[in-house]
Structure 1
């Protein structure tokens, strides 16, 4: 699994609870929900966004 990286992340308890609830509602794992939200926020990989 060289294409995945493991990180340790500190979250405020309230944000964690919101993410857990969103994951439950969307029937995803917490990890999958966070990845889904990050991909949505950042847009597609290798996009045409010229910003640094």
Structure 2
């Protein structure tokens, strides 16, 4: 990423908690986890494990 843009994002509490847990498991920051999931090939809005 050459440029970055900062945004404010509102998430349901349960989704936030799930993303935090996933990020910890992968040893990533919450921001990195979100970017990783959005950039992943075949990324979907939700998977079978997401709240």
TM (norm. structure 1) is 0.74
Unaligned stretches of 5+ residues in structure 1: 43-52
Which structure shows the bigger proportion of residues in helix conformation?
A: 1
CA RMSD between the two structures: 1.5
Unaligned runs of 5+ in 2: 45-51
The equivalent residue for 2:38 is: 38
| Moved >2 Å (runs of 4+) | none
Secondary structure of the residue aligned to 2:4 is coil
Alignment size in residue pairs: 41
Question: Between Structure 1 and Structure 2, whose CA radius of gyration is higher?
Answer: 1
